[in-house]
């Protein structure tokens, strides 16, 4: 079953709290996971940042919204229970509880800080909104990153072979390969045809080496190219290789690389652009945001 959005969690959550006992956030998540028949895999699904489980994040925001509307209240750190208002809402047997429903309560309107001039339009937009605030931020970030990735690929395809060589050296060094820039520069750039190939240190001590080949291609790299690369690996007595292209790899090429004894990592144009973003190659930071949370430990009095 798909992971429910945070608004779909609100009604089952308040029904759970309707038993009258106080619940810990984690206990509520466990019970709600059973209610929605979520599998272990569903519950382990992470936000794109990899910092938080999606379901727990949505349960947390459902709890927060119900608290702001006065339907739940905090009893102690990490615990909550239903309020008299919440019991009254349950008694009325609502068919659903969502953001639009909660806007009947003044405290929730204040929490949302909705400007009067937006009127019902704001409520309609919120009613359709299924993402938690963290999910909305991450979704916007992923859109920006996807656009940047596409733009980077096009730029890299247009640079000169010598600049492409420099780009690959910069990236490999940032990723921890190549030892020093002098080592990397001497190892890479031995061939033309708008590509580079050579042997580079896997670490600064040179305990192992990696054979590198990179080509600025428009067409997909097919299996024969990977077979030739594997042969070059054996000729250089190297067990590991990295094949970088500005285009893509065919299915046969990917399948072949996964089955041979030598370890060959395939990096297509999209992955190359993503690695450049991750390691700060050819990109600059335009803005930075920190998402903070309340430190409950700070407020514990001796």
Tell whether the model's pLDDT for residue 129 goes beyond 70. Answer: no
74-94 pLDDT, tens digit each: 998 889 999 999 999 999 999
237 with 123, same domain: the answer is no
* The pLDDT of residue 195: 42
- Mean per-residue pLDDT of the chain: 84
Kindly state the tokens that stand for 139.
């979704």
How far is residue 150 from each of residues 141, 272, 283, measured CA to CA in Å? Answer: 14, 11, 13
Tell me phi and psi for residue 227, to 5 degrees. -65, -40
What are the strands, taking DSSP E only, across 128-222? 195-201, 209-215
* The pLDDT of residue 82: 97
26 with 104, same domain: the answer is yes
* The pLDDT of residue 267: 96
195 with 85, same domain: the answer is no
Q: Is residue 146 part of a domain?
A: no
Kindly state the tokens that stand for 196.
């580079």
243-277 pLDDT, tens digit each: 999 999 999 999 999 998 888 999 999 999 999 99
Mean pLDDT of 15-21: 93
Tell whether the model's pLDDT for residue 118 goes beyond 50. Answer: no
Q: Is residue 85 part of a domain?
A: yes
Tell whether the model's pLDDT for residue 238 goes beyond 50. Answer: yes
Tell whether the model's pLDDT for residue 184 goes beyond 90. Answer: no
Residue 135's pLDDT band (boundaries 50, 70, 90)? confident
Q: Which domain holds residue 205?
A: 159-278
Residue 142's pLDDT band (boundaries 50, 70, 90)? confident
Output the domain CATH number for residue 245: 3.40.1340.10
Kindly state the tokens that stand for 102.
């909660």
93 with 188, same domain: the answer is no
Q: Is residue 263 part of a domain?
A: yes
Q: Rounded to two decimals, what is the model's pTM?
A: 0.65
Tell whether the model's pLDDT for residue 147 goes beyond 80. Answer: yes
DSSP states of 65-108: HHHHTTSEEEEETTEEEE-HHHHHHHHT--S---HHHHTTSHHH
């Amino acid at each position: 079953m798909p992971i429910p959005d945070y608004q779909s969690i609100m009604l089952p959550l308040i029904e759970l709290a309707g038993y009258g006992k106080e619940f810990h956030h984690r206990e509520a998540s466990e019970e709600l996971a059973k209610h929605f028949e979520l599998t272990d895999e569903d519950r382990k699904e992470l936000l794109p940042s990899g910092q938080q489980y999606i379901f727990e994040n949505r349960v947390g925001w459902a709890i927060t919204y119900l608290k702001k509307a006065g339907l739940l209240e905090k009893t102690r750190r990490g615990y909550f229970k239903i309020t008299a208002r919440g019991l009254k809402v349950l008694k009325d047997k609502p068919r659903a509880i969502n953001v639009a429903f909660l806007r009947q309560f003044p405290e929730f309107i204040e929490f949302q800080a909705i400007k009067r001039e937006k009127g019902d339009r704001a409520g309609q937009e919120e009613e359709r909104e299924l993402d938690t605030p963290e999910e909305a931020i991450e979704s916007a970030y992923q859109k920006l990153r996807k656009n940047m990735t596409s733009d980077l690929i096009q730029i890299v395809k247009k640079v000169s072979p010598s600049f492409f060589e420099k780009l690959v050296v910069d990236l490999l060094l940032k990723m921890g390969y190549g030892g020093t820039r002098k080592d990397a520069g001497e190892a890479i750039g031995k061939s033309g045809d708008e590509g580079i190939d050579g042997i580079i240190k896997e670490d600064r001590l040179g305990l192992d080496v990696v054979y590198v080949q990179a080509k600025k291609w428009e067409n997909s790299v097919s299996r024969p190219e990977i077979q030739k690369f594997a042969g070059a690996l054996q000729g250089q007595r190297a067990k590991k290789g990295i094949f970088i292209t500005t285009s893509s790899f065919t299915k046969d090429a990917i399948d072949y690389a996964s089955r041979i004894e030598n370890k060959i990592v395939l990096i297509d144009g999209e992955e190359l652009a993503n690695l450049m973003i991750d390691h700060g190659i050819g990109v600059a930071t335009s803005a930075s945001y920190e998402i903070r949370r309340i430190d409950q430990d700070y407020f514990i009095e001796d």
